[in-house]
Structure 1
Amino acid sequence: MTDETTPFPADEHDLLLSVKELRQIFAEAESEKAQQAGVASSNAEKQRRELIERLKSNEPIDEKMIENFLYRLKQVALKGKEEIMVGRFPNELCTDRGRAINQAEEDWPETLTGRPRQVYELWREHLKPLGYKLKAQIVDWPHGMPGDVGMFVAWEL
């Protein structure tokens, strides 16, 4: 029911806000979104740092991981594909942050550290003599800068 001074129903008067009140509500909502984004970004960065620390370790690649890789390799080949990504890692695991990989320099493997270096060594010792190739490339470009590196084992069918 409306009274004579306003076209709005009486119970909706509480919903009618001034522009100043709307700005305050908007500012509070934006602040909450920014806070949530900050927490999410902080959590993502923490997880990234933990991943880098795990991949920096020289803990040997275990037999089960190798078996899983060989199984995946066979499945991919049976589908007619000629390469498989064997790892993706932050460019911080390269001594030059992926520059040699990005420039396709011949000595790019010398920049690898930690687990990526172990993958390279396994390829060199066991797969290269069987005709497999190993390549690495930057697989994402956050803010236009080199990001993660992907390592691929390739073969020709």
Structure 2
Amino acid sequence: MSRSIDDLIPSALQIRKEAAIKDAEAADKYARLAATAEAEKRALIERLSQPSGKSEAEKVQLASSIIQRAVRSGLSEVQVYRFPNSLCTDKGRAINQQEKGWETTLTGIPAEIFQLWKDYLQPRGYRIGYQTIEYPGGMPGDIGITISWGE
């Protein structure tokens, strides 16, 4: 045997050290990925909390396209938007509790959608609904916006 037993079979201590190093590398990689994902989420929320930059005509055209596509599919309602509850000044509590005045808690694009409905769709008989649609860990999460026109 040209190699010693120590070369062939490392000690249990050495194996534990190598395993600990691998675990630390995996944890570090996970932490970097989580930090990147959190930064992307914060950037998205920041972007969504700002005005869309679309003109009134662009918003109306977009709403028309979404509604017409849903009608062609035989639907009488369509979810037009989904957003994190952090875009509400109360984290979506008023929406979740269906409190009067919940719309005043909206910011950014969700508020723009409500105003678009108020100005153009409500007078034409459309209804709007804001509802918590996700409960991660039992807590309110994302909110969906639905436009409906059926009975």
- TM-score (norm: length of structure 2): 0.83
Cα deviation for residue 18 of structure 1 reads: 3.0
Aligned to 2:71: 77
1:117 positional shift: 0.7
Q: 40, 43, 50: which is aligned to 2:43?
A: 50
> Aligned residue for 2:10?
17
Over alpha carbons, which structure has the higher Rg? 1
Name the amino acid aligned to 1:146: P
Q: Is the 8 Å Cα contact of residues 88 and 149 (structure 1) preserved in structure 2?
A: yes
**In 2: Cα distance, 1:138 partner to 1:99 partner:** 9
Normalising by structure 1, we get a TM-score of 0.80
Q: 1:29 to 1:156 in 2, by over 3 A?
A: same
Assess, with a 3 A threshold, how the Cα gap between structure 1 residues 34 and 107 changes in structure 2: closer, same or farther: same
RMSD, aligned α-carbons = 2.5
Q: Is 1:100–2:100 an aligned residue pair?
A: no
Q: How does 1:81-92 map to 2 (within 5 A)?
A: 81-92=75-86
- Aligned residues of 2:95 and 2:102 also touching (Cα < 8 A): yes
Distance in 2, Cα, partners of 1:82 & 1:15: 71
Q: For residue 115 of structure 2, what is the amino acid of its counterpart?
A: E
- What's 1:109 paired with? 103
For the Cα contact (< 8 Å) 2:85–2:91, is it kept in 1?
Answer: yes
Task: Pick closer, same or farther for the CA change 1:66–1:45 going to 2, 3 Å.
Answer: farther
Structure 1 residues 11 and 68 mapped into 2: Cα distance closer, same or farther (>3 Å)? farther
User: Match of 1:147, SS?
Assistant: coil
- Pairs aligned (count): 150
In structure 1, what residue type is equivalent to 2:48?
L
SS in structure 1 opposite 2:130? strand
Quick check: 1:61–1:118 contact (8 Å CA) kept in 2?
A: no
Structure 1 residues not aligned, in runs of 5+: 4-9
Cα offsets for 1:21-47 (capped at 9, x unmatched): 222222222212211111111111111
For the residue of structure 2 that corresponds to 1:150, the secondary structure is: strand
In 2, distance between residues paired with 1:109 and 1:27?
52
Q: 1:122 aligns with which of 116, 124, 132?
A: 116
**Cα pair 1:56 1:93 within 8 Å, conserved:** yes
